[in-house]
Every structure is written in structure tokens, then in C-alpha cells.
Amino acid sequence: MTLDRHTVIDRLRTVKGPDQEGDIVSLGLVSEIFIADGKVFFSVTVPANRAEELESLRQAAEAAVRSIPGVKGAMVALTAEKQGGGMGTAPQRPKPAPARPAAAHPVAGSQAGQQPAKADVPGIKAIVAVASGKGGVGKSTTAVNLALGLKALGLKVGILDADIYGPSMPRLLGIKGKPQTADGKTLKPMEAYGLKVMSMGFLVDEDTPMIWRGPMVVSALRQMLRDVAWGELDVLVVDMPPGTGDVQLTMAQQVPLAGAVIVSTPQDLALIDARKGLNMFKRVDVPLLGIVENMSYFVAPDTGKRYDIFGHGGAKAEAERLGVPFLGEVPLTMDVRETSDAGTPVVAANPDGAQAIVYRAIAEKVMSEMGSAMTAAAEDAPKIVFD
């Protein structure tokens, strides 16, 4: 049996609608369907206020498609209703945070003294967090390619994988082995593609249950910042754990961050979580460098044609609404996924390709946003010297 859209649609007719009446195809909830390389991509429209409840519907749709012979993978996203009563007017939308138009450019002195001083890390000029309101949006993929993009701009860059729930840097960068210690006290970071790399994944076996929580996680992070011989770095990119819980908040508070980058997919539902992420950093006075829209649109591998199946543009609109810089759109492509899985991130694997260009442009924007944030930070704390 050949795998085509009709086969997928037929199978999706077995998935019941949100109210257990009808099926998601007849109810008109399924977007265009794309198939590439045995993998199937589409979205299902649901009311925004029922997103959590309908996660099971998303899983059912994904499972139904995966069970089709020949399907190697499926990626199903929930998107929110756009018309009448949908996201546009959704009463459950959290109120936007009070406008702080120059979020990435805090006015010098405005927040000074409100936060306890965070000791800077010797040798590291700027630490940038890459965070997401929820898991699976491509935060780690963005972090690693952003780091490589910054390196391509001539900076000395390190990456710290603080995603204690699912460290992914060893896999993304194809690093094997464990870091060594030089003097019994500090660990030497690993290296890949010219990046210095440290990950909880190097220290914890993949099978070890992750029991570090709360304060332990934070102290592990502090140790990774201070007890690792990073040397001189212009930027250290920190891949944060997904979400906006206490652990993430404490991390954001404890690490002397020059700024934060939020990764979101374009769906309105993901954007609600992204907004929580933005607010979390605002609460602890970390400058927002901007939002990246990942899996923004789909590029068919055979024709190179572009399709907007996941509601492309949502993050940009949200960034504008919130007065936060918009850093760029990363398309959903096989390249990104396959190079990540192979431990050769796309910016390193294909530096002249379209993907690498997108990531380098994002890195440039981050740099320029950081420039002003760093300047402001420097004005706030004249004892820190940036050369």
C-alpha cells in the first residue's frame, strides 16, 4: 500500500471529535496533510480553552497515523480556533503583562537594587538562556544552532545543557564519553564544532531516574557554571528545562543572565505557554532578547514549496503585541531533524544551506539585542568590565 494523503485521511476518520461525536475529518478539524520521507505532518483545530483536555485527541490522531504501515513518524499539533470565540476573543487568555516596550533594553538603573546581585562567572562575558513555555517545541535544536550561529559570527561560544529533564546536547552534538577533571576540582568542558559543551547528560546516565529537583537542580546548575573550566567565552548559551515552574524560575533568578530567548511554535496554544515564559523572565528582570518561531512553516523536500500548516506568523504577532523583538522563523524541515538526530547540527553540517542562513540571522539579531542589553547591564553595574 502506498502512503498517501487519502490513506491518512481514511485512518483519521477513526479518530472521534472533541465531544466524542463524529470524527475529526468530517468535522473539518484536520489541516492540510504533508507526507515526507514516511513522516506525516498536520494539525488539528480545537477550541483554545480545551487544549489541555484535548491532548488525548492529539495523541489519538498521532497514534492512528503511526499505525499505518509505512509510516515512520507523525507530527500532529493542536491549533486553536481562529474564528468567532476562538483565540481572537478567548476570554481565558491570560492578561498580557503590562507593556514594557523596551523589554530587551531595560532603562539603566530602573531595576537596579531590586534583585540580589548575581555574581558573574569569571571569563564569561554574557550568559543567554534559551527557554520555552513547554516541551517539544525545538528549544534544544534552537539553542545548539544559535550557539553555532554565534560562533560563525566570530564569537567564543559555550553551551550549557541545563535541561535536566531531558539533556540533549550529547545527542545533538554527537559527543560521547565523560568530561575529565584537570585538577580534581574543576571539570574540563567537552568540545564539538568549536563549541565548549557541558551537559547534565555527561554526568548522569540516560537511564538514571532524574530525581534532582528544586534546590538540588539549582545547585547542580551553579556548579556547572562555576566548577567547569570554561575559559574565556564571549557567550554561554544555556539550554533551560522546558516550562515555567519553580525550578525554571529559580534558575532564571540564580544565573547571571544577560538575556533570554524564547522558542515557540506558531500555534496559538503554544504561544500561551511562550507568554508565560516571557513573563517568568520579566518577573526576575532578565532582559528579553526576543522570540524565535520554530516549525514556522513546512518546506516540502521534493518541490521546495512552502506551506503554512501550523499557523505561521503567530509568534511574530505575539512578539509585536508584547513589545518583544522577533528574532526569526525557522521552517520545519527534514534537514533540521535529521542532522539533529545524527549529531551534526544543521549550521555545522550545511553552513551554506537555507537553514544555516536562518539560524545565523537569528544569531545576529541576538547579538545586537544583547549589545544593548549588555550596555544597559554595564551601566547598571559599572564594576563589570566588557572589553
Ligand X SMILES: Nc1ncnc2c1ncn2[C@@H]1O[C@H](COP(=O)(O)OP(=O)(O)OP(=O)(O)O)[C@@H](O)[C@H]1O
- Interface with ligand X includes 309 (CB under 6 A)? no
Task: Give the residue carrying C-alpha cell 567565552.
Answer: 233
Which cell numbers hold the place of 219?
545547585
Q: Residue 274 Cβ, how far from ligand X at the closest point, in Å?
A: 11
- If one asks whether residue 251 binds ligand X (CB under 6 A), the answer comes out as no
- Residue 377: all three cell numbers together: 547591564
Q: Which grid coordinates are listed for 10?
A: 481514511
H-only helix segments in 263-353: 268-283, 314-322, 334-341, 346-349
Q: How far apart are CA 286 and CA 248, in angstroms?
A: 13
Classify residue 198 by its DSSP letter: E
Is 264 a binder of ligand X (CB under 6 A)?
no
The one among 294, 358, 370, 377 contacting ligand X by CB under 6 A = 294
16 marked as part of a ligand binding site? no
Q: Does the annotation list 139 as a binding residue?
A: yes
Q: Which is nearer to ligand X, 253 or 355 (by Cβ)?
A: 355
Taking contact as CB under 6 A, which single stretch among the options 12-20, 78-86, 188-196, 327-335 is the one that binds ligand X?
A: 327-335
Contact with ligand X (CB under 6 A) among 330, 349, 367, 370: 330
Dig out the grid coordinates for 5 from the structure: 494523503
Number of residues that bind ligand X (CB under 6 A): 20
Q: What would the x/- binding string for ligand X be over residues 162 to 181, using CB under 6 A? A: -x--x-x-------------
**Is 136 annotated among the ligand-binding residues?**
yes
Cell numbers describing residue 208: 538514571
Residue 163 and residue 242: Cα distance in Å, rounded? 7
Supply the DSSP symbol for 10: H
108 neighbors 379 (Cβ within 8 angstroms): yes
Q: Who contacts 15 (Cβ-Cβ below 8 Å, separation ≥6)?
A: 23, 24, 25, 57, 60, 61, 64
Q: Is 128 in the site for ligand X (CB under 6 A)?
A: no
Does 134 appear as a known binding residue?
yes
Q: Establish if 248 lies at the interface with ligand X (CB under 6 A).
A: no
Does 199 interact with ligand X (rule: CB under 6 A)? no
What DSSP element (H or E) covers 261? strand 259-264
How many CB atoms neighbour CB 304 within 10 A? 8
According to the binding rule CB under 6 A, does residue 295 interact with ligand X?
yes
The reply, when asked if residue 133 is annotated as ligand binding, is yes
C-alpha of 22 from chain center = 35
135 is in an annotated binding site: yes
Q: Which three cell numbers stand for residue 210?
A: 532524574
Q: Is 31 in the site for ligand X (CB under 6 A)?
A: no
Which of the stretches 3-11, 78-86, 325-333, 365-373 binds ligand X when contact is defined by CB under 6 A? 325-333
Instruction: Return the amino acid letter for 41.
Output: F
Out of 31, 43, 45, 141, the only residue in the binding site for ligand X (CB under 6 A) is: 141
Query: Among residues 259 and 277, whose Cβ is nearest to ligand X?
Result: 277
Binding site per annotation, positions for ATP: 133-140
Binding-site residue positions: 133-140
* Interface residues toward ligand X, by CB under 6 A: 132, 135-141, 163, 166, 168, 242, 294-295, 330, 332-333, 336-337, 340
